[in-house]
Amino acid sequence: MSESSDIKVLGIDLGGTKILTAVANAEGEILSRDHSITPAEEGHEAVVKSILESVSRALDQARLTVADLLAVGLGVPGLSNPETGILFTSPHLPGWKDVPLRDIIEKELGRKVFLINDANAAALGELYFGAGRGARNLIYITVSTGIGGGIIIDGKIYTGSTGMAGEIGHMVVDDEGPPCDCGNRGCWEALVSGTALTREARRRVKEGAATSILGYAGGNIDGINAEAVHEAARAGDSLAKELIAQAAYYLGVGLSSLINIFNPEIVVIGGGLSNIGDMLLKPAFEEAGRRAYEQTYQAVHFARAELGRDSGVLGAAAFALRKMRE
Ligand SMILES: [Zn+2]
């Protein structure tokens, strides 16, 4: 993606709470961006309207019109099929069922639109413009309220037979582990995520554990979150350190499976929980090293995601660009 910066693409990152829209060139430089709120409770017509308004503001800001765009990439949360452009269902968009979102937006804008899962978009963003530049085989992992992922094989995103591959957060790492939102139990994200860390901390505090975590949560059990645990751990609190070590352990267990299965050259980790940094990631990588084949472990390099919240929007734009060139 190194030629002409005359090419303009538009990326849309539709989240359950926010819509991020950006105009970018083929080098991944963002020319304009617009943030707005997702009216998730108001149904898909309202969300479509908000997306279109956001697109128009982003274009105005870049002094462009829709006719200047080569194509549009649309990253969506939840289960979707990039071939048909249908968003089947999303835990973040209540009431949505089999919405042909790509075709709806394409008709409204009069430009070619490509739809992709948001975590897959973020993987492409990191591959083209972030920590994974130049890689052929990459696993992208975002650890935040849950775990999302994107699998790049031989330079291409792997989407599976019906577009749903890469749901690494629902890889089972403990068959008798805690229940997961998906209906299964012991999924990776039920053990390692902001939600899991918060749940465990609240449980231990309720049981009367001696800890300063509550103090970092305004004295209120319901105020305990991953940040409160992290702050307490940094101040030396032993329960907080234990909870982060436990999350790191399970993070490493899951990583070892991914490394053995895919033999990637790089694993890129992003998402809010990864901001805990070395306290979480270093022991996780070590645990993965104890479990994975030595040869696969030696072949892999771990990196923090570089694009932050732009990874999804840039990845969606890159996906559109790539599809237009195919
Ligand atoms: Zn699950």
* DSSP character string of 237-291: -HHHHHHHHHHHHHHHHHHHHHHHHH--SEEEEESGGGGGTHHHHHHHHHHHHHH
Tens of pLDDT, residues 236-275: 999 999 999 999 999 999 999 999 999 999 999 999 999 9
Cα-to-centroid distance, 183 and ligand 1 (Å): 6
Cα-to-centroid distance, 178 and ligand 1 (Å): 10
Q: What distance in Å separates the CA atoms of residue 264 and residue 166, rounded to the nearest whole number?
A: 14
* Structure tokens given for 100: 């042909």
Cα-to-centroid distance, 278 and ligand 1 (Å): 26
Cα-to-centroid distance, 169 and ligand 1 (Å): 6
Cα-to-centroid distance, 182 and ligand 1 (Å): 4
Tens of pLDDT, residues 189-232: 999 999 999 999 999 999 999 999 999 999 999 999 999 999 99
- Beta-bridged to residue 20, according to DSSP, are 13, 35
The DSSP call for residue 7 is -
* CB of 82 closer than 8 Å to CB of 115: yes
Tens of pLDDT, residues 24-45: 999 999 999 999 999 999 999 9
Cα-to-centroid distance, 71 and ligand 1 (Å): 34
Residue labelled with tokens 């307490």: 232
Q: What is the pTM of this model?
A: 0.92
